[in-house]
Structure 1
Amino acid sequence: MHPKPGESFIDKIEENLIAFLLGAMTLLTFANVIARKGFNSNILWGLELTVFMFGWLVLLGASYAVKKGAHLGVDAILNMVSAPMRRTFGLISIVICIMFTFLLLKGAWDYWANFANLPKTEGRWFPLGFEDKFLAKGWYEVDDIPHPGFLKWMEDVFNEGESYEKLPRLLPYAVLPISMSLMLLRFVQAGMAVWTGQTDRIVASHEVEDEIAEVREQRGEDI
């Protein structure tokens, strides 16, 4: 798949990963149905892996939608005010979104960190530093997904050389800080676009209508 004009290879990584997760979920679910109905068997770890992939899909998709301006938006008020006021409202919205996402990032890190033998942050709302003492939980495993052989190196790094029977929990839950970091980055980028005058709002609530109009124009149809 070649990037569209104006898109870099990095811009395609999220799209490809999201597409992979969706395809893998579909194939795994289909294989599990065939195993149950056709062979009276079951892929024991299939359901748990599908749940984790769905979580990755949703969280990564949320940050990707911010980048593409594809979240739902209400522009009834924006369309009634002047361009400078739209820009002001856009900047206010961006600040609120950045603050909220920063709180989500703190919560995501604090939930995941100990599973990776890392300290949580201190402070109720905003990080005031990191824990001096904490219980390392790198030994925590998921319920059903077996630990693959190519990840055996993780036993020395996170589990003091003890063998993992199941996948360590730090891997599937890593999407929490990753996705919140990406979302924070996307809101900052959206804020820069509003600040520099490239757009006056975070989302394009009529993007579907615009795309349909563009297709019709390319086909030479009346709009």
Structure 2
Amino acid sequence: MSSRYAPTSGLGRLVNDFEETAIAAILGLMTLITFVNVVLRYIFSTGLIWGLEAVTFLFAWLVLFGVSYAVKVTAHLGVDAVTNLLSLQMRRAIAIIAGVCCLVYAGLLVKGAWDYWANFANLPQTSGRWFPTGFEQMKPTSYRGWYEVVDIPFPSWLRWIEPIMNEGEHYEKLPRFIPYFILPFGMALLLFRFIQAFAAILSGKSDSLIVSHEAEDAVEDVRHMNAED
């Protein structure tokens, strides 16, 4: 699938490569864990206790990566039946308004995601009701770094984080701040992609945020197939 917002800067290429690699790795891990669990269950009458929870977290990561990735590859759907009737200048003006709304929306998501994740990462939440105006002062009771997931065991190679996040106490399961990190990170990626899309509108490279016409493409494919028959 082509991308209207192809990476041109070093940062853009870095984010693009990371996104695609992460999505491929997550899909591979989900497939591997599920396959191993099926083999263990039906052949050896056992299984990975933590497999379902791990796949669930990986799927959540995949969805949140996919939100920003769909902006990049122009896969989000939209209705442009009305805007196509307008002049180019009007379409561009509406696209700018829509772009501002998307940036504000993504900014709110970043703030909300950070504030939620910060509870589990021993970090302060942002101040301000709608937009961050700074960071709140943390109290000793605000630390939640000791919260763990249900089944996924804590890998021994991560023991170095125990003095930092859990006052030296041992984790038995994976701390929640690790899988929950995708919340602020994924929303930050979405904001980055909306900034790219908005910049494309301002520079005249695009006149709309509605960039996918899968239904029209499907109808066209069927028409060609019927014509060949």
**What is the TM-score normalised by the length of structure 1?**
0.87
State the distance in 2 between where 1:157 and 1:27 align: 32
- Which residue is 2:10 aligned to? none
Tell me, what secondary structure is at the counterpart of 2:120? Answer: helix
State the distance in 2 between where 1:96 and 1:78 align: 17
1:11 aligned onto 2:32? no
1:61 aligned onto 2:66? yes
> Pairwise mapping of residues 94-109 of structure 1 onto structure 2 (< 5 A)?
94-109=99-114
1:132 aligned onto 2:173? no
Over 3 Å counting, the alpha-carbon distance change for 1:211 and 1:67 in structure 2 is farther
Per-residue CA distance 1:88-114 (angstroms, 9 max, x = gap): 111111111111111111110011012
**What is the TM-score normalised by the length of structure 2?**
0.85
State the AA in 2 paired with 1:193.
Answer: A
Structure 2 residues not aligned, in runs of 5+: 1-5, 8-12, 221-227
Over 3 Å counting, the alpha-carbon distance change for 1:148 and 1:89 in structure 2 is same
State the distance in 2 between where 1:149 and 1:203 align: 47
- Aligned identity (percent) is 54
Structure 1 residues not aligned, in runs of 5+: 1-5, 214-221
Q: CA deviation at 1:208?
A: 8.1
- Which residue is 2:194 aligned to? 187
State the distance in 2 between where 1:33 and 1:139 align: 32
Q: CA deviation at 1:212?
A: 11
State the AA in 1 paired with 2:68.
Answer: S
- Which residue is 2:80 aligned to? 75
Q: CA deviation at 1:129?
A: 2.2
Per-residue CA distance 1:115-154 (angstroms, 9 max, x = gap): 1110011232222321213311111111111111111111
Q: CA deviation at 1:202?
A: 1.4
- Which residue is 2:178 aligned to? 171
The size of the alignment, in residue pairs, is: 209
